[in-house]
Amino acid sequence: MLAGGVGGAKFLRGLRDHLRQVAPDGDGGTTAEVTVVVNTGDDVWLTGLRVCPDLDSIMYTLGGANDEVRGWGRVGESERVSAELTEYGVGWPWFTLGDLDLGTHITRSHLLREGLTLSEVTSRLTARWNLGVRLLPMSDHDVETHVVVADLDSPTGERSMHFEEWWVHYRAGLPALRFEQHGLSSSVAAPGVVEAIMGADVVLFAPSNPVVSIDTIVAVPGIRDALRATAAPVVGVSPIISGSAVRGMAHACLSAIGVETAADAVALHYGARDAGGLLDGWLIDESDAALTSSLGRAGLRVAAVPLWMNSVETSAALAAAALAEAAGLSV
Ligand code: GDP
Ligand code: CA
């Protein structure tokens, strides 16, 4: 699976639940092997620490330690250290790092400075939690998404900021002129990523932000080619329901790249593999069922199913539908 943070985590929790039911290992787990290729374009060095928001969202959610009410971070979190950092005037006061969360970032930064790669560090961090899936960063290289916005005070008329500043501080409210992925062209896919895609029975695109989660992963040299070449069916789940980004501000990302916030527009943006794109199958919400025939003509096999993930059960049903779609494509 290719995944960003929160949308990826919710879908994965359902997939894991579904696989435990249909392919149980007799020990509460599953015999199915799931590898998740996670977006690291949102990663940032902050107060000397490497923060990987999407990897951590998935780790905490599958580890059962996420804050269900707030929707991100650790449950039972406190923010004493962040308050001290603000007093010293370092860091981003609007980007609160919780005390428990900081334990993860300190550990990660320590291991990176010891010389471990991000995938090695991720393997060390996730070993503590019983995730039941393997998390791989898309790349071991630092790749950072920056957003270019208009700035009349600047000589160039533009200003660039880290994605998290645009997203969290400005709530995606400054119109984005474009996204730039620093470090992308010289990056390579992390060890195991291409192998996982090429060796998979099924490749899934989580209902994640198409622009700053999925597109960023796909743009890492080697990954698009693997997706184009794999013998496995590639099935995506729409992050857009009835023209809305469900939760969050993904529409601000889509409009910046000229893609309508609509389930069919996102699918056509990825494209059908038959037509040089990335997808064989696409899941849309029942409310979007009218889009099925036009997407079919574009070469996509479409299923219209409930896409709201309000519980583990609804997420598991969605995962089952995605695997059924893939099975239909395999025959
Ligand atoms: P982030 O990295 O934390 O922003 O999370 P992702 O990139 O994985 O996914 C964010 C996207 O998930 C949002 O923009 C929504 O479009 C999508 N999303 C969130 N909840 C749901 C849901 O219940 N169903 C579907 N289909 N998509 C959802
Ligand atoms: Ca993210």
Greatest pairwise CA separation for the chain in angstroms: 65
Q: Are 36 and 12 in contact (CB under 8 A)?
A: yes
| Exposure string for 302-319, b = 16+ CB within 10 A, e = fewer | bbbbebebeeeeebbbbb
Q: How far is the CA of 293 from the centre of ligand 2 (A)?
A: 32
Q: Would the CB of 308 count as within 6 Å of ligand 1?
A: yes
pLDDT value at residue 247: 82
What number does the ligand 1 atom closest to the CA of 3 have? 8
What residues have CB less than 8 Å from 80, skipping those under 6 apart? 99
Tokens for 192, please give them: 């195991």
Nearest atom (ligand 1) to Cα of 4: 8
> Ligand 1 in contact with 247 (CB < 6 A)?
yes
The verdict on the CB of residue 54 being under 6 Å from ligand 1 is: yes
Give whole-number Cα distances, 246 to 222, 285, 310, in Å.
Answer: 31, 11, 11
Instruction: Give the pTM.
Output: 0.98
Distance, CA of 219 to CA of 196 (rounded, Å): 17
**Residue pair 190/40 in contact by the 8 Å Cβ criterion:** no
Q: What is the pLDDT of residue 306?
A: 98
Decide: 4 in ligand 1 pocket, CB within 6 A: yes
CA of 8 to the centre of ligand 1 (A): 7
pLDDT at residue 266, as a whole number: 98
User: Does residue 213's CB lie within 6 angstroms of at least one atom of ligand 1?
Assistant: yes
Q: What is the pLDDT of residue 248?
A: 84
Sign of CA dihedral 16, 50, 2, 123: negative
Helices (H), the chain: 6-22, 53-62, 80-88, 99-113, 118-127, 163-164, 193-199, 215-219, 223-229, 250-256, 263-270, 292-297, 312-330
Is residue 309 lining ligand 1, measured as CB closer than 6 Å?
yes
Residue 208, beta-bridge partner list? none
37-91 tens-digit pLDDT: 999 999 999 999 999 999 999 999 999 999 999 888 999 999 999 999 999 999 9
**Smallest Cα–Cα separation from 198: which of 12, 37, 29?**
37
Please state the three-class secondary structure of 96-118 as a single string.
CCCHHHHHHHHHHHHHHHCCCCH
Query: What is the per-residue pLDDT for 330?
Result: 84
236 within ligand 1 shell (Cβ under 6 A): no
Nearest CA among 196, 34, 46 for reference residue 108: 46
Ligand 1: atom nearest CA of 42 is: 2
Q: How far is CA 291 from the centre of its chain?
A: 25
Report pLDDT digits (tens) over 176-185: 999 999 999 9
Ligand nearest to the backbone CA of 145: 2
pLDDT at 14: 98
Cβ of residue 243 lying under 6 Å from some atom of ligand 1: no
Q: How far apart are CA 81 and CA 209, in angstroms?
A: 30
H or E element in which residue 246 lies: none
206 CA from centroid of ligand 1 (Å):
8
Indicate whether residue 239 lines ligand 1 (CB < 6 A).
Answer: yes
Ligand nearest to C-alpha 253: 1
CA 267 / ligand 1 centre spacing (Å): 15
Whether the CB-CB separation of 50 and 108 falls below 8 Å is answered with: yes
CA of 213 to the centre of ligand 2 (A): 6
Residues with pLDDT less than 70, the chain: 331
**Which residue among 208, 244, 254 is best mutated to probe the pocket of ligand 1, counting the most ligand atoms within 8 A of its Cβ?**
208
Give 207 Cα–ligand 1 centroid separation in angstroms: 6
Instruction: Tell me the C-alpha to C-alpha distance, in Å, between residue 63 and each of 28, 265, 298.
Output: 15, 34, 39
How confident is the model at residue 220, as a pLDDT?
A: 98
CA 208 / ligand 1 centre spacing (Å): 5
Q: How many CB atoms lie within 10 A of CB 275?
A: 11
